[in-house]
Structure 1
Amino acid sequence: MEREGAFRRVATLVAEGASPSAVFTAAAGEMGGLLGADYTSITRYRDDRTLTLVAKWSNPDFPEVDAPFGGRWVVAPDTPAGIVLETGWPARRTVASIESDFGPWARAHGLGVGVSGPITVEDRLWGVITTLYRETNPPPDDAEQTMAEFVQLLNCAVAQADARAELIACHAHMVTAADAVRRSVAADLSDGPRQCLEALTLQLREAQAGVADEGLRRRLSRFAEEASEIDDRLRQVSADLLSVVPAKGGLTATLKALARRCPVPVDLNVPTGQELTDRVEMMVYHLVAEGLLNAIRHAYASAVRIDLTKEGEGIRLSISDDGVGGAHPLHDESGLAALKKRVEVLGGTLRVDSPVGEGTSLSVTLPCPAAQAE
């Protein structure tokens, strides 16, 4: 009954669409208690062969254990997690046999045995779940099997997060594609019909000047005025097409639509009436979309806050989440490095503050000259 209850509680969170961080925390506690562990952790593999702590649990009868090495460390091949990374199979090791840095850390906390199991999502090794035990408290023989059953629930939570992130990615792609089409049509209007109308208006004015008949002069003048009015209308259409935010209500409405697609609560603080250039508006949109993607797909956050404020001759955009942290702007799979370069092209700066276990904050400043047609 205890086993079924533990699985049911975690499965209920998954079925209700709870945030991955809530599922991970619950799974670490339920599995640790079910397997009689002293310490349980769920960690994620990074592209640079490091592990980042996602959730942890300690036995109430065991002293609280801080995250090893600040919550992010290089995977050593002699650890259970290192063996999982190399083989894709569960592994257990005695702490006494671990010579890498993880060994002294575990021994300093009185731990004697570690068991790790792989977390695989869509045929890719996503991370590892680990239970640690004191020497006087050996792990049960079926620890690996129990882990595998819990991992199936974790797989669902990660897959849900990825699917939700895809909704935001698709919306961002649609906005980008629509913007490209609008700009192409606006350019075609300027290079084609508008040039013809301007030439026609000039020719009608020249013909009007060379005609003696007053009635014909008035008709030519009316034709020239109508051609000029059509050109003005096309000019306005072209200007409207160059607007990078398709939603009625401008940038604020577009960001609200994006936030509504986010599966976690978003506290959006973007004042209306901001007069930004097209390029700055598009950059703000991409920054917010990327920030939400990272919060869901990489940080596994349960809440996000977005603030856009005027600052001198520019703007400041802040995007913060309460996820797992550990993001690195230079060599992280979240795409922050590419985003940083795009911000710098516009003369701005992007700063990332992402301590492990404390969430991630993006702080962006962008110069913002008065809005004008670009």
Structure 2
Amino acid sequence: MKTYVVGGAVRDALLGLPVQDRDHVVIGATPEQMLAKGFTPVGKDFPVFLHPHTHEEYALARTERKTAAGYKGFVFHTDPSVTLEQDLIRRDLTINAIARDEHGVLIDPFNGRQDLQNGVFRHVSAAFEEDPVRILRLARFAARFSVVPHAFAVAPETMNLMRMMVEKGEVDALVPERIWQEISKGLMEKKPSRMFEVLRECGALERIIPELNALWGVPQPAKYHPEIDTGVHIMAVIDYAAEQGFSLPIRFAALLHDLGKGTTDPAIWPRHHGHEERSVDLVKTVCERWKVPTDCRDLALMTARDHGNVGRSQEMRAATLQTMLERNDAFRKPQRFLDMLKASEADCFGRPGLENIQFPQVAFLTSVLNAALSVNAGAVAQQYLGQAQKIAEAIRIARIDAIRQLINERDEALPT
């Protein structure tokens, strides 16, 4: 029985990156032998075991055979006779098909080290096309390996293979949970735009999220958007959100905030009147399709609806600002409202050529929220005990007055 470290741990070590988890493959062993050595079984579809002391994963070497569409349509075969190379050939990319033995010797039958040095994503074998999740994983890797040691590119033959997979409908067999899992991970990488660029290039983006794919080629007013193209704008927005280290809900909201621009009447382009309402409906559709978690869905809906109002907020009256706070449940969930401001900030700065402009709306609306929150709702309510309707209105009026005072103080401080 021999064990090897495989996959991401070897790849990241060769790239000089921190190694988070180590996976092992075991050659020449049976499940019974693993159990006898104290390993704990955890695999459902094929034998995977946890080391009795380190708790790292050890998988028996295996081969696989495609039996149905999708990423679950496989039959796995494990046997002591399965070789290391037979196990490695079933892996997705050459850079993930490198093994290291207990003495530190690398086994690299598919020239993965060369592809690491050249910054190339290349599939190991034709088995790549049997699992559509590999398209998503490759796209996610493109977002991750965008700067170390240089941006990785997809090998032409691998891109052609992915296009063929899309044409054959393999991507259509992906389950929503798995799509969300990969997309959400990709959004949290250093340059998430690269994920969507790869998906778009191979045609998968149109199948997975056609609402986003439709934004490329849609013009915006050059005065406000030097990049013109809405799809290009969205990519700059999510990259800005990544650069700022924003959370997943904020990045997801930034990704979807302008979906409605892909459905407005071309006769009014580059204007997009009413796109916010259209965006809200489309965000709902995408979130239902992917079974998106509530926190991501709710922030995306808020941002789609109100990002334009955030931009216009300094011109609004106190009552209108109070209505915005109420509409977004800002008094119960103030942090979520502040997160919406961050997504709107990303929208502002995600415009190549206007990166150095000011966006004082974030600070202004933060002050508006704090002014409204400073109202002692309990004290107001004491004046109208037993009169619920009057209490609610009195609190609302008090908050409007607090916001109006803030606006007046701001205006008085402006130079004449």
Instruction: Give the TM interval when normalised to the shorter protein.
Output: under 0.3
* TM-score normalised per structure 1: 0.23
Rg larger for = 1
| Greater relative contact order (Cα < 8 A, sep 6+) | 1
Name the structure with the higher strand share: 1
* TM-score normalised per structure 2: 0.21
Name the structure with the higher helix share: 2
